[in-house]
Chain A
Amino acid sequence: MHAIRTVAGMIDLDPTDESLMADLVERRLPALGTLYDRYGRLAYALAYRILGEPEAAEDVVHDAFLLAWRGAPGFRRDRGSARGWLLSIVHHRAVDVLRRKTAFRPAPLEAAERRASDADTAEEAARNVEEEGVRRVLAALPEAQRRTIELAYFGGYTQVELAQLMGVPLGTVKGRMRIGLQKMRRALEHAG
């Protein structure tokens, strides 16, 4: 379902993220629905990856979208994209929940399997190719760098915890992150 905006007789069935955010500020509820339709699955996938439990992931996504609804007036386009802003809320909330549950820590990305869909459409197939490309970029990183990045982003570990977990100095943790992310950045620019 798309938010419908009438502008001089035209109907915009595919509003930009910026216009959606403007609608959120104006308290237009359909815009929140459109934002969910656009990023809800990704938000859930991120929360699920971090927490590993569907109900907890749904609670986090619920909280995050509510925080976005309430916090829309504070969103600044010059500070990043709406997607980035929304998913950072999801990430922070999920990590916050995870850090309260010390027993669970998710496995690195290589253990997460993608479930094949019986209903792959051409759009999904194209997305699969893109995802596969990103996975290749990740797989091309040295294991230490990839593991550091995954544990930090999906495991919610701070740099101090990572240093303890991996048995390396803080500087090594920072270095692995920096070099790993720079390599990813260059590989993505090259692929794009």
Chain B
Amino acid sequence: MSHVIDDLELYILGALPPEEDRAVADHVAGCDGCRREADALEAAVTALQDALPAHEPSPELRDRILASASAPQPDVLRVVPARTGSITLRRASLPTYGLVAAAVALAVLSIGALRQVDTLRAEIDESHTIGLRVSQPAKTWYMSGVDRWQGAGGMLYAPQGSTAFVVFRDLGPAPAGQSYTIWLVDAEGRWIRGSSFASTEGRVRMVDVGVPVDGFDRCAVTLETRTEGARQGPIVMQSRFY
């Protein structure tokens, strides 16, 4: 790519479309001359930032950030959404292939033990897949728990070209006869039902959203008695913006 001197002001101010922004960023990273010019212009942006009126965030924001960052590698419950006709809960730790080797070494070569090893290997492979999903570049939206679910949270991941999913934190089991439902809310305030699931154990879960997420404004989770139809139950958690 040729020098991007003409686009640097637009780039520094964030006024380029995403594709052009990335192209300029890539060029600047590898071009000393354009990099020097961009650095000099950045002083003006720093000045814009320094001139901002002071506003205080809530005291809780710091703890919320640290809590999200410190969320441990989860025991993951892989849930197939209820709309597919079944709910399958499988518990697995994130991949430790040494565990597989140990399991194989200790297993008694009986049919039952071999089945257990096969199940464990399948769970570990699946956990590895889930870990890969979380590590992919994706747009994310954070949902905060409300009322009696305060302290719980969920992060919706929307990887490009892949199914959107939510990873929950500190979400306890749904009461008997009820299930959690993921909702997407558009700019007009319409609530579109996503997946329903019932947590029975474990602290963190991962659930596919079940519907495309493009074009929606917010996301939320409610507690419902039905797996279809309009929203009726209380809000468990919700995002501010989509």
Give the B-binding residues of A (Cβ under 8 A). Answer: 29, 32-33, 36-37, 40-42, 44-46, 48-49, 53-59, 61-63, 65-66, 69, 76, 78-80, 83-84, 87-88, 91-92, 95, 97, 100-101, 109, 112-115, 117, 130-131, 134-135, 137-138, 149-150, 152-154, 156-159, 162, 174, 177-178, 181, 184-185, 188-189
Whether the Cβ atoms of B53 and A177 lie closer than 8 Å is: no
Whether the Cβ atoms of A41 and B57 lie closer than 8 Å is: yes
- Supposing A58-B58, A113-B53 touch, asked if A174 and B6 sit within 8 A by C-beta, the answer is yes
What residue of chain A has the Cβ atom nearest to residue B10's Cβ?
Answer: A159
| B43 contacts the other chain (CB 8 A) | yes
Distance between Cα atoms of A57 and B97 in the complex (Å): 42
Query: How close is A190's CB to chain B, nearest CB, in angstroms?
Result: 12
Distance between Cα atoms of A138 and B85 in the complex (Å): 61
Binds A, one of B59-67, B86-94, B165-173, B224-232: B59-67
Whether the Cβ atoms of B64 and A62 lie closer than 8 Å is: yes
Distance between Cα atoms of A168 and B69 in the complex (Å): 45
What residue of chain A has the Cβ atom nearest to residue B56's Cβ?
Answer: A41
Distance between Cα atoms of A58 and B53 in the complex (Å): 16
- Chain B binding surface, main DSSP class: helix
Chain A residues near B142: list those with CB within 8 A: 59, 62-63
Distance between Cα atoms of A152 and B17 in the complex (Å): 12
- Supposing A44-B56, A66-B65 touch, asked if A162 and B49 sit within 8 A by C-beta, the answer is no
- Chain A binding surface, main DSSP class: helix
- Supposing A59-B239, A181-B44 touch, asked if A33 and B62 sit within 8 A by C-beta, the answer is yes
Whether the Cβ atoms of A29 and B69 lie closer than 8 Å is: yes
Whether the Cβ atoms of B14 and A149 lie closer than 8 Å is: no
| B241 contacts the other chain (CB 8 A) | yes
Whether the Cβ atoms of A84 and B42 lie closer than 8 Å is: yes
Q: CB within 8 A of A178: which of B9, B61, B141?
A: B9
Distance between Cα atoms of A153 and B53 in the complex (Å): 15
Chain A residues near B28: list those with CB within 8 A: 79
Distance between Cα atoms of A95 and B187 in the complex (Å): 17
Give the A-binding residues of B (Cβ under 8 A). Answer: 6, 9-10, 12-17, 28-29, 35, 38-58, 61-62, 64-66, 68-70, 140-142, 187, 217, 239-242
- Supposing A44-B61, A174-B6 touch, asked if A158 and B16 sit within 8 A by C-beta, the answer is yes
Whether the Cβ atoms of B217 and A134 lie closer than 8 Å is: no
Query: How close is A60's CB to chain B, nearest CB, in angstroms?
Result: 8
Whether the Cβ atoms of A134 and B57 lie closer than 8 Å is: no
Whether the Cβ atoms of B48 and A153 lie closer than 8 Å is: yes
Whether the Cβ atoms of B57 and A100 lie closer than 8 Å is: no
Whether the Cβ atoms of A152 and B57 lie closer than 8 Å is: no
Distance between Cα atoms of A176 and B14 in the complex (Å): 15
Which of B16, B28, B241, B242 has the most chain A CB atoms inside 10 A of its CB? B241
Whether the Cβ atoms of A152 and B64 lie closer than 8 Å is: no
25 residue pairs of the A-B complex, CB under 8 angstroms, read A29-B66, A29-B70, A40-B57, A40-B61, A54-B55, A57-B55, A57-B57, A59-B142, A59-B241, A62-B65, A62-B142, A100-B242, A101-B187, A101-B217, A114-B53, A117-B54, A131-B50, A134-B47, A134-B48, A153-B14, A153-B45, A178-B9, A181-B9, A184-B44, A185-B44
Which of B6, B10, B70 has the most chain A CB atoms inside 10 A of its CB? B10
Distance between Cα atoms of A80 and B38 in the complex (Å): 9
Distance between Cα atoms of A185 and B140 in the complex (Å): 35
What residue of chain A has the Cβ atom nearest to residue B155's Cβ?
Answer: A66
- Supposing A32-B69, A66-B69, A87-B49 touch, asked if A44 and B15 sit within 8 A by C-beta, the answer is no
Chain A residues near B140: list those with CB within 8 A: 63, 66
Chain A residues near B40: list those with CB within 8 A: 185
Identify the 4 closest CB pairs spanning chains A and B, nearest first: A184-B44, A177-B9, A44-B57, A152-B15
Distance between Cα atoms of A6 and B40 in the complex (Å): 35
